Structure formats: C-alpha cells, structure tokens
Structure 1
Amino acid sequence: MTTNVSPKPENSTWTDEQWEAIAVRGRSVLVAAAAGSGKTAVLVERIIRRISDPQEPMDVDRLLVATFTKAAAAEMRHRISDALEKALAEDPGSEHLRRQLALIPRASITTLHSFCMEVIQKHYQTIGLDPGFRIANETESALLRQELLEELLEDRYGAAVEGEPFWLLADTFSGDKNDEGLFRLIQRLYDDSRSHPWPEHWLEGCVDMFGAQLATDDHPWLDSLRAAVKLELQGMEGMLTEAERLARGPGGPTPYLANLDDDLTMTRSLLERSEEGPWELLYEAFHGAAFGKLKPCKGDQVDKELQEKVKDLRNAAKDKLTQIKEEWFARSLEEYAQELEKVHPLMRELARLVNEFAEAYRKAKSDKGLVDFADLEHYCLRILCDPATSSPEHPVPSAAAWEYREQFVEVMLDEYQDTNRVQETIVALISREQPGNRFMVGDVKQSIVRP
C-alpha cells in the first residue's frame, strides 16, 4: 500500500484498491480498471475530495479533466455537479462548496480535442496560425484526400519507369483494375504518422528499421516481433492455466493434468526465450514445440461439460501455437533479412509518397481555411513545445505550457488506453514533473494503481 494515502474511513464502501486510487497524493498515478469496475465513480470521488480537502482545498477550475467524447465530458460535469450539491446539502454553510458550483460551467472538464482548441484560440499567434479556420467534416476531408491522392499518383505514374521503386510499389499493392490497395496504404501510413508527435521523424525511423542490419539482439523490428510473440504466448498461458484450474476442481478431468502441466512448462519456456537470448534459439524452440496427445479420461466422476471446456481451452491454445508458428516462425532469420533488404527501397518510396501527400493535404487545407482533428493536436503541440530547445527525443515545455503547469494542480485523463503519442506528449508538457500531478484512468491489464 502506498505511504502517501490517507486512511480509509471506517464506514467506507470503497475497496482498498479504489480508496488508494482516490486518496493517493504527491505523484502521478495510473489506475488500471476494466469497464464496469466503477472507475468513473472513483474519478469523481477523487475530484470531490481534492476540491473539499480540509488541509488543501482547491477550486475546480484548477483541475483539467479530459475525456474522449463530448458525451463523456458532459456526464462527468453532471456527476461532479451532483456530488457538489450533495456535499453542500450536508454542509450548507460552506462558501467554498458554493463557489465550486458557480465555477463548474467554466471548469476544464472537456475532451482533449476541445482542450487543444482552447489552447490554439488563446495562443494561435505564437505559431502564425490564421484564427479564422474551421474544422472540416469527415465527408469534406475524405473527398479532399481522395482528390489529392489521385493527382499525386497520376503524376507519379506519368513519370514511372519499370523496375524503379515506385513502379515496384504500385505493382505490389495495386490491383489490375484500380489503385485501391496503394490508396489505402498511403492513407493508413499517413494517419499512423499523424498519431506521433513528429510524423516525418517517425516515418524516417520506419524506413531506417527496414534498412538496418538484421541482428539477433538489438534490431527494432525483432524487438517488435518479440513483443508480439510474448503477448500471444501470455494468451496461451492464460488459457492453459484456466484449463488446469478446471481440471483440478470438483468433477474435473484429472487425467488431463499431466498433459496440461507439460503444456504449461513448454509455454513458459517459450515465454522465457521470447524475452531474451538469440532469435535463432527461439526459432528452434518453436519448431520443436508441440502439444502431446491427451490421455484417456473415463469414469462417472468426471463432469462431461467440464471435460469439454478443458479440451476446448487446450485446443484454443494449440491453435494459437500453430498460428504463431505460421505467422512468425515459418521463415528463418536469414530469410527475414533477405525480405527486409528487398522491401527497404519500397518502404523508402512509400514514406516519400506519404510525405508528399501530407504536404499537399496541408497546403490544400490551408488554402481553404480548414483543419482536421489531427491538426488540432499538432497545432496545440507546436504551441506547447519550445521551438528552440525541443527535439523528437526530448520535447521541452514552452512559456504557454508553463502557464498551464501553473494553472492545473492536477491533470486527470479518462480512457487513458485510447491516447496516442501526440496526446500523451501534450498531457506531459502541461503536467508537473516533481512531484508528478497526472491521474490517468484506463482499461489496461495491469494492477489497479501504479506510479
């Protein structure tokens, strides 16, 4: 239990984990909770207790509470208002609580995009942005993107030479009748790049990853592959652990336990190898991995329904192992290296196309006075980053960011699992560091509270 947590009231109905999330102070916190676990109620209770803290009461407009939809923000504002009215009914003489109700309409209980818009409207002049812009609707944006991509590819086809990177890229991803595959690829990579603080830098890193020498220990592509394999193996382990639990229980198919023990030993060995050691050893381990034949299971004491559940779980784990083998271990490291070498010039050409499309789209939106939601995030990021000292590896808060650090005593973020890298960077720039003042709630599969 965290030391900087006030004692839970004796009559409290909160669980110990919920109370810790409500009461912890003096550091940034991530609360991991699944849907339906009361995380919104925990967030509202924390807000009310921060506002009405007898030692350090604060005004509600010193908090930033960010959600991902306008409906969620409206519900959060309504819940906080209701909680304040209830607190005021219990303490009708409190001028502080009465003041908080008056401040609610202007409190920063909002979506991240709305917060970005507020930052832009206040500081647009620092990045030379025309304040007369409007947000493009989805249809308008989609039509503009389609038109620009058609023009870009038409120009490229006109200059294409057989065997050169663009020709090979188009030949690989376009069909016989249309370019829909290449269209989708460019747009998807463009959208992915815009979810990162520095899109061009991210694209450059993607290209470099295909061009780097494929080694067994430090190649970023292999790191990504290991992480994916590990995640799938953890899923296998979960299935087999549940199967073992059912087999050990009343009416369970106990003859299967020996098989399940072997299966778990194999899976955990693969998990261990996926975390460290040469890739070739992991490759060999997967090629030697197999599920044994289940032992016979007969007798009236065995619950047939439980037996089928155990078999289904084990079969699902077997299918997962087959999938991992086919998806990631059908080729040797040397074969992967040869493929990467072939793909590298195509990736470089694809990144070039994405950058050309990004520039054409930016110019077209500027000419029409339009922005999209990704633009809101990136304009906000530009305002909050110090242009003289920031880098992709180390964003430095600007004077505007420091204003928000002073204003917000706590930065609260709901649905944290949905944040992209741009949004994370924005939140980090307006949050304090020592001690941290971020409170994030999300459906991430980890402990209820972590620093």
Structure 2
Amino acid sequence: MSMIPKKPAKTPFTDHQWQAIHDEGKNLLVSASAGSGKTTVLVQRVIEKIKKQTDINQLLVVTYTNAAAREMKHRIQSAIQKEINQCDEQEQKRHLIRQIPMLGHADISTLHSFCLKVIRRYYYLIDFDPVFRLLTDDTEIALMKEDVWEELREELYGNDDELFEELAKAYSSDKNDDGLTTLILSLYEFSRANTDPLKWLSDLTQMYKVNGEDLGESFVFQKLLKSQLLSTLKTMDDLLDDAIAMGNNEEELGKTLKILIDEREHAKELQTLVKDNDLKEAYLCIENFSHARWYVPNKKTTSESVKEMGKEMQVFRKKAKDLYKEMESDIFSFTPDEHLENMSRVSLLVEEMARVTKLFYERYKNHKADKKVLDFNDLEHLTLRILSIETEDGKEPSEAAIHYRSQFSEVMIDEYQDVNQIQEEILKWVTQPESLNGNQFMVGDVKQSIYSFRLADPSLFIEKYEQYEKKEKGERIILAENFRSRPEVLSFTNFIFDQLMDKEVGELTYDKSAKLINGYTAFPESSDFNTELLIFESKVEESENDDDDESVSSSFSVDSKTKGELYMVA
C-alpha cells in the first residue's frame, strides 16, 4: 500500500495533484483537464522518484511528440538542478548530480523512438536485418504506396474477376477509381493500428453475419445502429415535449397540441420497439404513420401572443420532424428482409475488400523489405514481435520484455487518450503484469482526444477511467482545477458541454467529475469578462408561406440556405 506523505501547508499543489505526484504501488490513471498542470505534475513525480534514489534510466516516459519529449527533458533537468542547489545532504546531492549526464540517454521520448531503440538492441530475436532507413517523409511514403497499388490494381483488373470488378464499380466514378484507391489504403491504415492486421481484416465480414433471420440481433444493428436510433428518438421526444410544454395552458392550441402529442407517442412507441430489437414491427409502425398538416389558429379573435407561441412550437416540431425523415430515409427505407438481403450481398464485397487489402499489405511489406525501409507503424509491429513470444498457451514475454520489466520501475505515458491498440500492447509488455503491483502512470484527458484520424483509440482511456473509479486494477485521480482561464470562460464551457457531451456523442458523460473547476483565484474582479455570443449570418432565404411547416427556420441554424459563423468571446 502506498504511503503518501503529508502535504505541507505552503505547497502550491492541490490535494489531487499531491496524490498524483506521490501515490504508487498500483496503476494510476490521471484524468487531467485543460490547464490543470498535468506536465508540472508529471515532472514533479519524476523528481520525487529520483529523490527516492531512483535513477532516471529506470523510468520510461512516453510523450506524443518529439517536441514534448525535448520540453520534458528540459523541465526535468531544470528541476534536478534546482534540487541540487537546495540539497544539503551530500550523498543525496551526488545522486542528483549523477542524473544530469544520464538524462541525455534516458528513455524520455515518443513511443516510436523507444521502439527504434528496442529494435536496434534486440533485432536478432526476430531474425531481422538491422540495416534499414526510416521513412519520415509523408510524400515519399504516399508515392511508394501508390506505385505498389497501381501495379496490384492493374493485375487485379487483368484477372477478369467479377467480384473485384463489382467492388471497383461500387467505389468508382465514371471518370476514375480514386474511391477504390482511398478505400483500400484506408483499410490498410486501420488494420495496422491493430496488433494482428491480417486477422482484423479477416474479421470484417463477421459484422455482416446474421444468425437466423433476425436483423435486430445482428452486429450491425446492436453495435452500430441501435444506440444511434435510440438517441435520435430520444431527441425527437424531448423536442416534442418542449413544444407541448409551451402551449399546454392555451385552450386555442388544443388541435395543435393533439398533433404534437400523437407524434410524441409515436416516437415513444418506436423507442420501445427499438429497445426490444423488434425492427419488423418498427418498420410497419413507420410505414403506417404520416405527419399531420401543421395547424395554428389564425382567427380574428386569436391573439398575437398565441400565434407567436404557435410559431415557436412549430420550430421545435420541425426539428423533430426533420430528424424523423432523416431516420426514415437512412435506416427504414428498406424492409428488414430487404436489409438482410443487402447485408448478404455487402458481405461478399466486404470479403473482397479484405482480400484485396491483404494483397496490398503483403506487396507493400515486400516492397519495403526490398528497399530496406521501414515506416513508423513498422517500428511498432516489429517491437511487438520482439517483446512477445507465441506459444501453445498464448503469448509470453520475451527476454527483451523481461529485461525492460526489470529495468523500468515505472512507465509513464503522457497524452494517454491518444494511444492506439498496438501501442497499448507494447506498453503492456514493458510494464509489470496485472497480477503484480502496477507500475503504469497514465496522464491524459479523453475530452481532448483529437487524433482519431491517426487511429487513436480513446476507448482504452475510458475503459480504465471506469474501471479505476471502482479501484479495479488501478486507481483514478481527477485533476479538474483549471489554472489557465477565468471563471467566466470555465462556466460557459461547462454549460455548453453539459448540453452536448454524453456517452453517445463524446464517449464520456460530462458529469460533475468531468467539469472544469476554477483553480486560480487571483484574477481581478471585473464585469468586462462576461461571456458574449456573436452570431453572424450572411444570407437567409425565407419561404413566403410562414404557416408551412417546411418553411420554419431558426436564426441560430446554419444550413444550405444559411451561411454564417458563430463566435464566443469571454
């Protein structure tokens, strides 16, 4: 069990920062919001480790960029020098001084740089030729892939393969087959973010397999469509609820309310059917439903306030109706049986996609071997092969993994939210197994994960975030205090994301633990910093018929008829 030292009265660190600096003996996930001082905490944790007689080369610190690694080394060096100047105990001072020359060779780097070091040292474990050139120019990589693909594509066209021709036709235009090229190269990149790319490609067709004749039990519906449908229907329900609440006290709006109530009940019925996976009944329910023509009383005796209220209700109803029409055209344009037939045909095309991508995978791999070059992703896969050994009972640590596990007393990962599957697996083989005391220290913020296009997998962070909250396999520490922005900015940011971010949209509920807290109290008080919204619309086209439901527009929307920008100033 970790013994966290008592926090001094005058320390600049918060309680949670102090825990993140000193806690040990288990895996730790530090969820650090923007401006919460995570780099300061990480550097201070390194210093505290060194002060306890740990050498800097006993720590692996993984950063996301080379620039971040350089900054980290600089800050650690400055912190060590500061400790040297303040230290009176001679043995401790000698230990601190010894860290300065070691810092230049310390494992404080990007994961790719660490992988390169592993390959240079243990290449013989996988019978790999260590003489290679690392590809760092994106243009050169793109041209190399293009050359390999063009040769393979011409060969596939020449084989007179009907299934390949059908695939090419499905993803090509009348002018070129650039769509097919983009598809295969994208699939290749996605596969390489996994520990076993070829298996990942082979498993793609499993998504389109249906046991029996029940579309509701298929992978596509359960994993991809169900949550999307329920979210859409819940939003429709809420919009109609708000519209009904507006006019509930107006007798003249009785007919209008009847329209809204019927549509809300229809949305609720669909929610129940979707939850029960009953897509056949849901399809029939939609097929037999039609939206009533919108009605707002327009008599001479009708007050302007009632007419205005009707228009406001109409705005909410139109948003709900638009969502319904989009759902209908996207998902319920075919019957469940037709969907099953389509999935069967699509399954063949997906299988062909996987086959072609595997061919490209092998050709490109051989091409790089002939040229004696590697890309960054190759470094990850080679390192994983070096660190783990395939046995009859599964994978076991190699001598390289055993060496690094004994060398590193702690593995620290910055920007953990941007790690992908294969990087996670590499880190697993250089840290202590879960059966022992954890020695992994992860810092990040899933709300700041922006590298999905680089195949980052935020679900890895979220899984630990939820596990460690229950103290399963580790412990979670939340740094919510923001020391960078004024309270007005934080308050408005919390307000916006409280409305937008949930498990479906942002993979994380923006609850109390996720909200930003003002940690800096020295800002001068002033009313000049209240949040201000500036909305600019360059052009709005309005229909002549204001009573037509399709003509309703909101000044806050930006669509094909409205071009504009939204600015926030605080």
TM bin, normalised by shorter chain, reads 0.7 to 0.9
**Structure 2 vs 1, CA of residues 256 and 398 (structure 1 numbering), >3 Å: closer, same or farther?**
farther
SS at match of 1:25: coil
* AA partner of residue 130 (structure 2): P
Q: Determine what percentage of the aligned residue pairs are the same residue.
A: 37
- Counterpart of 2:171 (choices 170, 173, 182) is 173
TM-score of the aligned structures, taking structure 1 as reference length = 0.78
**Structure 2 vs 1, CA of residues 16 and 353 (structure 1 numbering), >3 Å: closer, same or farther?**
same
- Mapped to 2, the partners of 1:11 and 1:273 lie a distance apart of 57
- Counterpart of 1:81 (choices 70, 77, 81) is 77
- Mapped to 2, the partners of 1:322 and 1:277 lie a distance apart of 22
* AA partner of residue 200 (structure 2): W
Q: CA deviation at 1:159?
A: 1.6
Match status 1:421 vs 2:417: no
Residue 126 of structure 2 contacts residue 385 of structure 2 at CA under 8 Å; is this kept in 1?
Answer: yes
**Structure 2 vs 1, CA of residues 360 and 85 (structure 1 numbering), >3 Å: closer, same or farther?**
same
- Mapped to 1, the partners of 2:95 and 2:132 lie a distance apart of 39
- Mapped to 2, the partners of 1:9 and 1:318 lie a distance apart of 60
Counterpart for residue 98 of structure 2: 99
SS at match of 2:446: coil
Counterpart for residue 359 of structure 1: 362
- Mapped to 2, the partners of 1:320 and 1:34 lie a distance apart of 33
Q: CA deviation at 1:402?
A: 1.1
Counterpart for residue 398 of structure 2: 398
Cα offsets for 1:250-275 (capped at 9, x unmatched): xxxx969999xx9xx99xx99x9799
**Structure 2 vs 1, CA of residues 377 and 9 (structure 1 numbering), >3 Å: closer, same or farther?**
same
Bigger fraction of residues in helix: 1
Counterpart for residue 23 of structure 1: 22
- Mapped to 1, the partners of 2:406 and 2:387 lie a distance apart of 14
**Structure 2 vs 1, CA of residues 178 and 410 (structure 1 numbering), >3 Å: closer, same or farther?**
same
- Mapped to 2, the partners of 1:199 and 1:102 lie a distance apart of 41
**Structure 2 vs 1, CA of residues 228 and 359 (structure 1 numbering), >3 Å: closer, same or farther?**
farther
Q: CA deviation at 1:216?
A: 6.3
Counterpart for residue 200 of structure 1: 198
| Equivalent residues, number | 414
- Mapped to 2, the partners of 1:286 and 1:193 lie a distance apart of 40
After superposition, where does 1:288-307 map in structure 2 within 5 Å?
none
- Counterpart of 1:60 (choices 39, 56, 64) is 56
SS at match of 2:173: coil
After superposition, where does 1:39-188 map in structure 2 within 5 Å?
39-53=38-52, 57-93=53-89, 94-136=93-135, 137-161=137-161, 164-188=162-186
Bigger fraction of residues in strand: 2
Q: CA deviation at 1:35?
A: 3.2
After superposition, where does 1:334-373 map in structure 2 within 5 Å?
334-373=337-376
Bigger Rg, which one:
2
**Structure 2 vs 1, CA of residues 327 and 117 (structure 1 numbering), >3 Å: closer, same or farther?**
farther
After superposition, where does 1:164-313 map in structure 2 within 5 Å?
164-213=162-211, 215=214, 219-225=218-224, 229=228, 277-278=276-277, 280=279
List alignment gaps of at least 5 residues for structure 2.
250-256, 296-302, 306-311, 448-461, 475-570
- Mapped to 2, the partners of 1:408 and 1:419 lie a distance apart of 20
Cα offsets for 1:88-117 (capped at 9, x unmatched): 222154222222223211110010000000
**Structure 2 vs 1, CA of residues 365 and 286 (structure 1 numbering), >3 Å: closer, same or farther?**
farther
**Structure 2 vs 1, CA of residues 175 and 68 (structure 1 numbering), >3 Å: closer, same or farther?**
same
Counterpart for residue 495 of structure 2: none
Counterpart for residue 440 of structure 1: 442
Q: CA deviation at 1:229?
A: 2.6
Larger relative CO (CA 8 A, sep 6+): 1 or 2?
1
- Mapped to 1, the partners of 2:225 and 2:317 lie a distance apart of 23
Cα offsets for 1:166-215 (capped at 9, x unmatched): 11101100111211000000000000000001001111111222234375
TM-score of the aligned structures, taking structure 2 as reference length = 0.63
- Mapped to 2, the partners of 1:217 and 1:207 lie a distance apart of 17
- Mapped to 1, the partners of 2:278 and 2:190 lie a distance apart of 28
**Structure 2 vs 1, CA of residues 150 and 85 (structure 1 numbering), >3 Å: closer, same or farther?**
same
- Mapped to 2, the partners of 1:183 and 1:435 lie a distance apart of 47
Residue 226 of structure 1 contacts residue 275 of structure 1 at CA under 8 Å; is this kept in 2?
Answer: no
- Mapped to 2, the partners of 1:354 and 1:89 lie a distance apart of 59
- Mapped to 2, the partners of 1:389 and 1:347 lie a distance apart of 31
Match status 1:376 vs 2:379: yes
